[in-house]
Amino acid sequence: MLRQRLNMMMTLAGLMLAFASCTSHYRIDGVVETLGYEGRELSLIEFLPYRTTKYDSCTVNHGRFQMSGKADTTRLVFLCKDNRPIIPVYIEKGVAKVSLLPTEMTVSGTRQNDLFYSFLKQKIAYDNLYEDLSQKRAQMSRHGFDSRRMEVIQDSLRLVVDECEDMICSFMADNYDEPAAVGVFMMLSAGPSNEVPSLIRRILDAAPEDFLSQSYVHGYIGRMGYARNE
């Protein structure tokens, strides 16, 4: 009888260890080289239409911070300072590295964060190119109008917009089944608008039903009265 009880206890202990090993955990290692963070509290906060949830928090110490916990599901949250959003972060299994630098703020090391920030890097490059061309157009308007050069700049601006939209749609087509795609959609659709912009319509028209049923996307569709083009 004693041997049977010992065997049962060993079996239960083994099962508990097996379940524990299957539990997913996240860890966030952060480096800060920007003024105003030392000694301040950073938090991971999820902002939903009817609920705000704080998942973790810590204090920046000597330019570094760390948070960790369970990651049973992948969640898009914001890293916040004093409850004010700084950058989006995906809580997911693995170790994510956050860099808060004077020149850029990025998250890397886990799948969804890598996807989201690789997209963001491409988007920022297009935005910067568009801004540079816009400044050249403004300078030309101030210092003398050259119709031929102005036409070239206008064509270049349209090309940048077209290429950027193609990049966005290509990213979405490749990643509709990834949580990062919902985060990108949230970012693109965040601006105030009374109608569905052409880029957003293009994304939704090509999206599979699983993507359209995601809570944020579904809410946007209902709010904006979107109907798929047949």
154's CB contacts (< 8 A; 6+ apart) are 137
Per residue of the chain (230 residues), give pLDDT as tens: 444 443 433 333 343 333 334 458 999 999 999 999 999 999 999 988 778 999 999 999 999 999 999 988 999 999 999 889 999 999 999 999 999 999 999 999 999 999 999 999 999 999 999 999 999 888 877 776 677 888 888 999 999 999 999 999 999 999 999 999 999 999 999 888 889 999 999 999 999 999 999 999 999 999 999 998 75
Element (H or E) spanning 87, and its range? strand 84-91
152's CB contacts (< 8 A; 6+ apart) are none
Q: What is the pTM of this model?
A: 0.84
Domain boundaries along the sequence of the chain = 25-109, 114-224
Amino acid at 143: H
Encode 46-59: b = buried (16+ Cβ within 10 Å), e = exposed: eeeeeeeeebbebe
In CATH, what is the architecture of 25-109? Sandwich (2.60)
Tokens describing residue 126: 């297009």
